[in-house]
Amino acid sequence: MFHSVLCQIVSAPGTLVFDTGLMLLYFTKLGLSDKLILLLLSSRMTATMLSISGAAYLSDRIGIKPVGIASCVLGIIGYSLITAGPFFDDSIARVIVVTGVIGFSFGLAWFNSGWFVLLKGFVPASMTGRYFGLMRMSWQLAVTLVVFAYSAVLGNDSPLWVFQIVLGMLTLGLVVKLWSYARIPEVGQMPFSGQSFIGALKDVLPAPQFLPFCAYSFLLALFTAAGPSLFNLTEKHHLEMGDNTIAMLGGAAMVGALVGYPLGGFIVDRIGTKIVFLCVHMGFMVLAISFPLRGKIPLDPVLYLGAIHTIWGIFMAMSSIAMSTELFAVMPTQNRSLATAVWWSLANGGSSMSGVLAAGAISLGFLKPQWELLGNSASQYDALILVFGLLTGLMAITLGLVPSVIGKHKWLPRAS
């Protein structure tokens, strides 16, 4: 359990900077278009959707650890390419950086294919929620410290070499991840059944309540995953904030997650996942409506947006804890890696589609770059945030349609 937590602490900053604004600023500095940036920021989810099921089947066949170690190596290579790209000419640099993002994304997808199953071998069921809360609070604290550290280094318009130094430090974290992951034991795993990939899928998909929960995860990710990137694009292009300010706002979301993980673990273990999901739906909708109304609130814009980022981080963390706990509850006993991969594919497929839909809406040009909301200036990114937020709120109706979220009523004998 110690090494599983350490593995996440040293690797999470390299993954989460895709969501905190650093990678967006880096890609913008390289001259990439908004459409390509949104696609690259969602590439981790796309890679998961495309490859995690095959990687999970391979994990069930040859073991979780060999696949996981190979994925760590691929992630290190990919991140090294992202960092080294600007050393080359502009056109070549962009190709190298895009290749690095793709390599890192596939490495992360393969790593995640067996991660939950590896944990299930040694995490007691009675403390699943608290364990995930502790583990995620630990790596979230590490991410928060890293975000505020590089925010202090960045200026209003930082040169590329500053970004490269930060990314180089994050690459070292991935090297430590490989060392730590190699020391996690693989215990309690079911022997390989010898089934084909299609045969294993036929056993996994009919598992009670499993597929409905996967579909629910897809929809929730579809309407929420692009939110942080759209926040950052609004702040960079519409509000014209500096690099350091945008990075600090990303750090505010990390602070919110520090609160959300233990809070989510506490609520899930004592009340259940349903109340968490209900709060998440309503919370995301309210925040999405509040973001474009920033000019109507008598607060400093940075403080107001910082509050929105913080609360968004709380809800994202709480929903993550509820998702992981629910997955443990509905996971079938056979082909667990493949079952986890199916869930990852659909959840990350929703996240990927969220970025693709946002990028498509921007590239097609049917959204007005500038418009007014109650006399307040807004951008095309604000329009997308509003649409996604309202759909998230309406999606709360699906909580009554997903049996894995509500669970079956347990009939008990009447007391005499």
Q: Say yes or no to pLDDT of 396 above 60.
A: yes
**Using CA atoms, how far apart are residues 174 and 176, in angstroms rounded to an integer?**
5
The residue extents of the domains of the chain are 2-181+203-404
pLDDT by residue (tens digit) across 358-385? 888 888 877 788 888 777 788 888 899 9
User: Which is higher by pLDDT, 384 or 136?
Assistant: 384
pLDDT by residue (tens digit) across 69-87? 999 999 999 999 999 988 8
Q: Residue holding tokens 């996981």? A: 68
| φ and ψ of 114, to 5 deg | -120, 5
Express as a percent the part of the chain with pLDDT over 90.
17
Beta carbons of 393 and 285 less than 8 angstroms apart: yes
Question: Distances in Å between the alpha carbon of 2 and those of 7, 118, 130?
Answer: 9, 13, 14
| Number of CB atoms found within 10 A of residue 194's CB | 8
Q: How confident is the model at residue 403 (pLDDT cuts 50, 70, 90)?
A: low
pLDDT by residue (tens digit) across 219-240? 888 999 888 888 888 888 888 8
Q: Say yes or no to pLDDT of 408 above 50.
A: no
Mean pLDDT in residue range 147-175:
85
Beta carbons of 367 and 384 less than 8 angstroms apart: yes
Instruction: Tell me which CATH homologous superfamily contains domain 2-181+203-404.
Output: MFS general substrate transporter like domains (1.20.1250.20)
Beta carbons of 99 and 60 less than 8 angstroms apart: no
Mean pLDDT in residue range 326-340:
75
User: Which is higher by pLDDT, 269 or 9?
Assistant: 9
Beta carbons of 196 and 365 less than 8 angstroms apart: no
Residue 378 pairs with which residues in a beta bridge?
371
